[in-house]
């Protein structure tokens, strides 16, 4: 951390741009909060234009709708009726801001050094593509937490967006030709969908009940369209690792029991993000793990 502060103070211009990206991300997070609330309830995203308090239904003025700050200034209470505002609103804004900034820092190293060991990208067109992926994954995660579903707009929409963007920005798959990238996105989507569909079927056979929702299968298709079959493989490994840790913690603290339904989407999303930020670094570390025993002395 002191290293980071030193790095930022040595590059004030980069620090200012990064802060601006954070603020932009927090504003997108504010919009994601609207989506998280409205999409599962089938409410329109555009009407009413202004946000309203779900308790007293009064419109929220712009000065009470500033990302992160308003939540803190209002002490998490509605100005009109005093109903408490859920912490989730601020968490989503801060998280989106932070992740947007990390995406930006993948493109812009500070003084030639990569922040937090992020794997660098060379094509600036990847920045908005990754921002879109971040937005979709946050949206899917928080809807899944609250409703145990992942909206089709995120999953099927994500597959469509992933295919189109692979064609538009082939660097997403590390290749030059559009058709090549599109093909890799198709293979990734099919691998993700197919593998998770098989895992879900196996789970149903094993536990004699629905262990994994179909939303997770579709989400994995979207992850494959964006990050290819390697991303799918990494996401399955990382998410099952994170999911088992969390599941064991829940069982150990007596808050869950074997085979109880936990939302798996958030783990898939987390795994996809880890792959997006640190993929090549992780892949090399993983390969080294297996290369060691056969290395000549």
Q: Residues interacting with Zn ion, by CB under 5 A?
A: 53, 55-56, 78, 80-81, 83
Which among 119, 164, 123, 127 has a CA at the least distance from the CA of 283? 119
Per the structure block, which two tokens stand in for 103? 């995406």
Minimum distance of Zn ion from residue 66's CB (angstroms): 17
Alpha-carbon distance of 25 to 163, in angstroms, equals 24
Minimum distance of Zn ion from residue 84's CB (angstroms): 10
Per the structure block, which two tokens stand in for 190? 């099919």
State phi, psi for 110 to the nearest 5 degrees: -90, 110
Nearer to Zn ion, 17 or 53 (CB): 53
Alpha-carbon distance of 209 to 54, in angstroms, equals 35
Minimum distance of Zn ion from residue 153's CB (angstroms): 28
Determine the longest span between alpha carbons in the chain, in angstroms: 72
Alpha-carbon distance of 268 to 235, in angstroms, equals 6
Nearer to Zn ion, 56 or 124 (CB): 56
Output the CA–CA distances (angstroms, integers) from residue 224 to 19, 157, 240, 269, 278, in the order listed: 31, 13, 16, 12, 16
Minimum distance of Zn ion from residue 55's CB (angstroms): 4
The DSSP secondary structure of 46-63, one letter per residue, reads: SSSSS-B-TTT-PBPPGG
Nearer to Zn ion, 76 or 148 (CB): 76
Alpha-carbon distance of 201 to 296, in angstroms, equals 43
Minimum distance of Zn ion from residue 149's CB (angstroms): 27
Output the CA–CA distances (angstroms, integers) from residue 35 to 42, 176, 233, in the order listed: 10, 35, 29
Q: Residue 52 forms beta bridges with which residues?
A: 59
Alpha-carbon distance of 18 to 101, in angstroms, equals 6
Cα torsion 239, 244, 247, 251 to 10°: value is: 180
CB 248 within 8 A of CB 258: no
């Amino acid at each position: 951390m002191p290293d980071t502060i030193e790095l930022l103070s040595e590059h004030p211009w980069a620090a200012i741009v990064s802060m601006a990206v954070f603020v932009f991300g927090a504003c997108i997070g504010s919009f994601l909060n609207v989506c998280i609330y409205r999409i599962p309830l089938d409410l329109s995203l555009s009407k009413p234009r202004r946000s309203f308090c779900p308790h007293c239904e009064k419109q929220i003025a712009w000065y009470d709708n500033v990302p992160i700050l308003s939540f803190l200034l209002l002490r998490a209470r509605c100005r009109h009726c005093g109903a408490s505002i859920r912490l989730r609103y601020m968490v989503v804004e801060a998280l989106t801001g932070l992740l947007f900034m990390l995406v930006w820092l993948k493109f812009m190293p500070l003084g030639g050094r990569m922040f937090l060991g992020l794997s660098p990208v060379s094509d600036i067109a990847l920045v908005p593509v990754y921002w879109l992926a971040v937005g979709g994954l946050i949206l899917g995660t928080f809807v899944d937490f609250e409703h145990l579903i992942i909206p089709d707009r995120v999953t099927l929409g994500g597959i469509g967006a992933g295919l189109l963007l692979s064609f538009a920005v082939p660097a997403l798959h590390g290749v030059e030709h559009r058709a090549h990238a599109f093909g890799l996105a198709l293979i990734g989507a099919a691998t993700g969908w197919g593998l998770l569909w098989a895992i879900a079927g196996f789970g149903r056979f094993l536990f004699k009940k629905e262990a994994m929702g179909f939303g997770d299968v579709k989400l994995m298709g979207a992850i494959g369209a964006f990050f290819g079959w390697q991303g799918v493989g990494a996401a399955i490994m990382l998410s099952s690792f994170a999911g088992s840790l969390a599941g064991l913690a829940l069982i150990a603290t007596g808050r869950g029991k074997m085979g109880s339904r936990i939302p798996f989407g958030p783990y898939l999303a987390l795994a996809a993000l880890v792959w997006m930020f640190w993929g090549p670094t992780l892949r090399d570390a993983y390969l080294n793990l297996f290369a060691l025993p056969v290395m000549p002395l």
